[in-house]
C-alpha cells in the first residue's frame, strides 16, 4: 500500500503541475479554446498507460510460476529501478526549466494551427508520467509477495494508489485554487529519497531472481536468517520487502548491491542538491504557483 501511495502521490503532483502550467499559459495568452485539446491529450496518455499496464500484467501472469515469468519480472524490476533513479535526478535538474519548456512547446503547436499539435503537447508531457507509474506499479505488484500477488495484496496496493492520487489532486487543487503554499523543491527531494529505497529494494529482487535463474552464480552465501523474527512471507515482512527490499535470508550479493546503490545515489543526490541554482527559485508555490518551477 505505502509504495503505491508514494508513487501515485509523486507522479500525480508532477502530472497535475504539468497540466496546470499548460492551462495557465494558454489562459494567459488568450487561447482557452485549446483547453479541450489539452484534456484530450492527457486523457489519451492515461488511457494508454492503463491499457498497457493491464495487458502486460495479464500476459506475464499467464506464465505464473514459470521461468518465463521470473525473467519478465526481473526485467520489470531492473527497468523500474532505472526509471525511478533517472526520474529523481531528472526532476532535481530540470524542474527550474519545466515552465519555459512547456511554454515553448505550446507556442510551437499554436503557431502550427493544428489541434492535433495542441493535443500532442498534453499527451507527450503527461505520457512520461503515466508510463513511469505503470512500470512502477507493475514492479511493486510483482514484488509485493514472495508467493506472487494475492487478491488481498492487490486490493491494498490499488487502495494505496487511489489514496495517493486523491491526495495529489487535493494538493493540486489547494495550490491552484485555494492558495495553499507547498515547498515543491523539498516535496520532491523527500519523495525522491524514499523512492531510492524502493529502487534499492527492486534491485535486490532482481538480483534474487537472477541468482535463482543461474545468471549470477556468485555471492549466493546466505548472510543470516531472520525468519524467526520477521518472516518475509508475513504481512509486516511483506511490507518491509516492498518498502526497502527486506529479505529474511539475504545473500552476500544482495547486500552488496543494496548498500552500493544507496551509497552512490544518496551521495550524488545530496551533492547535486547542494549546488547553487543559476537563478533564484521561490521556495514555495503560491496560487499562481505554476511559475514556481521556472
| Helices 235-244 & 184-213 angle (0-180, nearest 10) | 110
Say which residues have a Cβ less than 8 Å from residue 195's Cβ, sequence separation at least 6.
Answer: 6, 7, 10, 84, 87, 88
Q: Which residue has the higher pLDDT, 212 or 240?
A: 212
Q: Which residue has the higher pLDDT, 115 or 161?
A: 161
**Residue 185: pLDDT above 50?**
yes
**Residue 267: pLDDT above 90?**
yes
Give mean pLDDT, residues 129-140.
88
Q: How far apart are CA 189 and CA 92, in angstroms?
A: 8
Q: How far apart are CA 39 and CA 44, in angstroms?
A: 8
Say which residues have a Cβ less than 8 Å from residue 231's Cβ, sequence separation at least 6.
Answer: 237, 248
Whole-number pLDDT of residue 289: 43
Closest CA to 184 of 52, 31, 289, 38: 289
At 150, the pLDDT band (50, 70, 90 cuts) reads low
The phi and psi torsions of 246 (rounded to 5 degrees) equal -55, 135
Whole-number pLDDT of residue 258: 96
| CB-neighbour burial class of residue 149 (10 A; exposed 0-12, middle 13-18, buried 19+) | middle
**Residue 144: pLDDT above 90?**
no
Whole-number pLDDT of residue 143: 80
Greatest pairwise CA separation for the chain in angstroms: 67
Whole-number pLDDT of residue 189: 83
Amino acid at each position: 500500500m505505502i509504495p503505491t501511495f508514494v508513487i501515485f502521490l509523486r507522479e500525480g503532483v508532477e502530472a497535475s503541475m504539468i497540466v496546470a502550467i499548460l492551462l495557465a499559459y494558454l489562459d494567459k495568452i488568450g487561447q482557452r479554446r485549446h483547453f479541450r485539446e489539452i484534456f484530450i491529450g492527457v486523457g489519451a496518455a492515461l488511457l494508454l498507460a492503463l491499457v498497457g499496464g493491464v495487458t502486460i500484467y495479464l500476459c506475464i501472469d499467464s506464465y505464473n510460476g514459470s521461468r518465463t515469468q521470473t525473467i519478465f519480472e526481473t526485467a520489470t524490476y531492473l527497468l523500474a529501478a532505472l526509471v525511478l533513479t533517472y526520474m529523481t535526478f531528472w526532476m532535481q535538474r530540470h524542474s527550474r526549466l519545466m515552465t519555459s519548456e512547456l511554454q515553448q512547446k505550446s507556442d510551437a503547436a499554436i503557431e502550427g494551427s493544428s489541434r492535433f499539435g495542441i493535443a500532442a503537447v498534453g499527451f507527450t508531457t503527461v505520457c512520461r508520467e503515466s508510463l513511469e507509474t505503470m512500470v512502477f506499479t507493475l514492479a511493486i505488484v510483482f514484488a509485493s509477495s514472495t508467493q506472487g500477488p494475492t487478491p488481498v495484496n492487490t486490493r491494498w496496493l490499488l487502495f494505496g494508489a487511489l489514496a495517493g492520487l486523491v491526495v495529489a489532486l487535493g494538493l493540486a487543487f489547494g495550490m491552484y485554487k485555494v492558495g495553499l503554499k507547498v515547498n515543491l523543491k523539498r516535496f520532491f527531494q523527500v519523495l525522491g529519497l524514499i523512492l531510492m529505497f524502493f529502487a534499492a529494494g527492486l534491485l535486490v529482487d532482481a538480483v534474487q531472481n537472477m541468482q535463482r535463474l543461474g545468471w549470477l552464480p556468485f555471492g549466493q552465501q546466505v548472510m543470516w536468517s531472520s525468519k524467526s523474527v520477521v518472516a518475509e512471507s508475513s504481512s509486516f515482512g511483506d511490507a518491509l520487502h516492498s518498502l526497502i527490499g527486506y529479505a529474511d535470508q539475504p545473500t552476500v550479493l544482495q547486500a552488496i548491491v543494496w548498500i552500493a546503490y544507496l551509497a552512490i545515489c544518496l551521495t550524488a543526490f545530496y551533492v547535486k542538491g547542494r549546488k547553487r541554482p543559476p537563478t533564484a527559485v521561490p521556495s514555495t508555490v503560491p496560487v499562481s504557483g505554476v511559475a514556481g518551477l521556472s
